[in-house]
């Protein structure tokens, strides 16, 4: 049986994921946890520390998932596909699986007072995993500017998917909009994300392959391995 502290943490994950730090209310968290409002101060010393505890809890779960997938993948291409797969599953999933992706979105859109600490402790390591895999895939001659462009190419579609997910959820809260054919159906990829995952993997790899082939091509006037000039 969960303790009061565990119930508050679970409830906080859901409320922060739905509203972000600024709009989340401690009263709503305690109501969902069936706990006294004073419990947050008692167990977590306030809203900010509770928010930090939520990040730590969700990040640990996400890190375990990402590391497990990376260890299963034999090469850089498979590792990148695994990162994309895990990210999409987190975005379109239900319940706790999607909480971390939503909280990251809200935090980057509307930074909390803890933003710099959250960036250095949680977001930078995740970006580092993506960067390392992309760098391995592109090869050792890739310059920093190209690497950053490629990172944006991979992250961009994931961010757009997160925006779409949250926009769709907000529209569902409007009873009039829910009647419209464009908004009254649950997106198919939320129940079966596999086709979307495959398409996003293909899109990202295609873009990186274009960068890689450009980097590998000798510039005009550069000597070829045979000693000639282009």
pLDDT digits (tens, 9 = 90+) for 183-226: 666 777 778 899 999 999 999 999 999 988 776 555 445 554 44
**Of 32, 37, 56, 57, which is closest to residue 47 (Cα–Cα)?**
37
State the CB neighbour count (10 A cutoff) for residue 90: 22
Tell me which residue of 161, 137, 11 sits closest to 89, measured CA to CA.
161
Top CATH class of 58-216 equals mainly alpha
For tokens 């998917």, the residue is: 161
Give the pLDDT mean for 17-28: 96
Helices (H) and strands (E) in the chain, counts: 11, 0
Q: How many other C-beta atoms can be found within 10 angstroms of the C-beta atom of residue 67?
A: 11
Closest CA to 61 of 107, 122, 6: 122
Q: Where are the domains of the chain?
A: 58-216
Torsion of CA 196, 204, 92, 90, to 10 degrees: 140
Q: What are the tens digits of pLDDT across the range 62-88?
A: 898 888 888 888 899 999 999 999 999
Q: What is the pLDDT of residue 225?
A: 47
Condensed to tens digits (0 to 9), the pLDDT of residues 94-113 reads 878 889 999 999 999 999 99
The whole-angstrom separation of Cα 105 and Cα 188 is 22
- Structure confidence at residue 182 (pLDDT): 65
């Amino acid at each position: 049986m969960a303790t009061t502290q565990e119930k508050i943490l679970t409830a906080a994950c859901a409320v922060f994921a739905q509203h972000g730090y600024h709009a989340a209310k401690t009263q709503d968290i305690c109501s969902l946890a069936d706990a006294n409002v004073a419990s947050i101060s008692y167990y977590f010393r306030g809203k900010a520390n509770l928010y930090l505890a939520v990040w730590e809890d969700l990040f640990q779960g996400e890190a375990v998932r990402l590391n497990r997938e990376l260890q299963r993948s034999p090469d850089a291409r498979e590792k990148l596909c695994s990162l994309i797969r895990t990210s999409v599953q987190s975005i379109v999933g239900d319940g706790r699986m999607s909480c971390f992706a939503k909280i990251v979105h809200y935090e980057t859109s509307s930074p909390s007072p803890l933003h710099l600490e959250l960036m250095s402790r949680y977001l930078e390591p995740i970006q580092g995993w993506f960067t390392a895999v992309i760098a391995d895939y592109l090869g050792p001659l890739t310059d920093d500017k190209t690497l950053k462009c490629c990172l944006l190419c991979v992250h961009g579609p994931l961010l757009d998917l997160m925006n779409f997910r949250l926009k769709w959820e907000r529209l569902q809260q409007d009873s009039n909009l829910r009647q419209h054919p464009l908004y009254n159906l649950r997106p198919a990829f939320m129940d079966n994300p596999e086709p979307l995952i495959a398409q996003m993997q293909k899109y990202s790899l295609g873009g990186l392959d274009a960068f890689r082939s450009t980097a590998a091509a000798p510039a005009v006037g550069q000597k070829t391995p045979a000693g000639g000039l282009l």
